[in-house]
Structures are given as C-alpha cells and as structure tokens.
Amino acid sequence: MAEQNYIVLNDTTLAKKANHLLTQGLFRIYLITPIRILDDIETIKNINRLYSVLSECGFMVFSPLDIAISLYSYKNTKLLSYTDLLAQNLFILSSQADAVVLLNASIEHSDCRTTLAVAYHCKKPILDEKLCPQNISASIQIDFKEASPLIHQ
C-alpha cells in the first residue's frame, strides 16, 4: 500500500463542505471504501476523521462495515454470505442514502464498481473524500444490470 497517495483531510474545510451539502438536503451519506484496504492504518484514520466531521455536522452515515456488523448481529447463527451483504448494501444505498462518498476508492476498484453502478443508476450524487462531486461514466451500467436483482432481495 506504499504507493497509495493519501489525502490529508482538513476538518474545517470538510465541515464547510458538509454544511453546504446539508443546505442541499443531502443528509444521509453512504461511505464506499474498498474492503481490501481497511487493514491500512491511514485509511482507518481517514474513515474515522470523515465519520467524526459528518456526524458532528448532523449527517447519518452508512457504510458497508456498519451494515455487516448489524446484519451479523441480526443473523448471528451463521456467517454472512457476500451476496447477503451486497444485497443489503445495495438496498440501503438505493432506498435510504442521499449521496455517496468515495473514500480512497475509485471505479478501478472491483469491489466498488457494483455499488457505484447502483449509485449512478439511482442518480445519487457521488463525492470524493474532500466532498467534491465526481463524474462517474455510464460505462458502469453493466454492473448495475448484475446488481439490480440483489436490490430487491
């Protein structure tokens, strides 16, 4: 992970941008980060910082990790399958989130493509970790076709 260029998140700037999002009615943020980089300490620090700023500003923040924990607690008799987790993530994204924030993630990350395809299809604003809008191309529509049955599980 040494090649990763981490963005140092400035809390004051983030808070200003977050407040601007609130004025646009975007209260519920869905956080996307590739699962394979969650063992990296800098990523964890950025996630915690972003969570703190967004929470203090009054946002509700969803992340795949939160959903995995709550689903696991709910179904604690067995381990979650990837399909269960993906279906729940996509349902929450499509029905409850107002916007998506990519944290150290991009269209190139295969474990983010399906989620981004659903966000794009559902016309959710897609932001980077500095809360700046991102343009995601229609080329990810193929991923949405594969994901759409999972949304309604």
Residue 25 lies in a domain: yes
Residue 2 lies in a domain: no
**Could you tell me which of 99, 95, 96 has the C-alpha nearest to residue 116?**
99
CATH number assigned to the domain comprising residue 59: 3.40.50
Residue 1 lies in a domain: no
pTM listed for this prediction: 0.67
Residue 53 lies in a domain: yes
Domain that holds residue 109: 11-151
Residue 3 lies in a domain: no
For the chain, what is the domain count?
1
> Mind listing the pLDDT tens digit of every residue in the chain (153 residues)?
333 333 444 567 777 888 888 888 888 888 777 665 556 677 667 777 777 778 888 888 877 666 555 555 555 545 556 666 667 777 777 788 898 888 776 667 666 777 777 788 788 888 887 888 887 765 565 555 665 665 555
- CA pair distance 110, 67, nearest whole angstrom: 19
The Cβ-side half-sphere exposure at 52, using a 13 Å CA radius, reads 10
Q: How many CB atoms lie within 10 A of CB 60?
A: 13
Residue 119 lies in a domain: yes
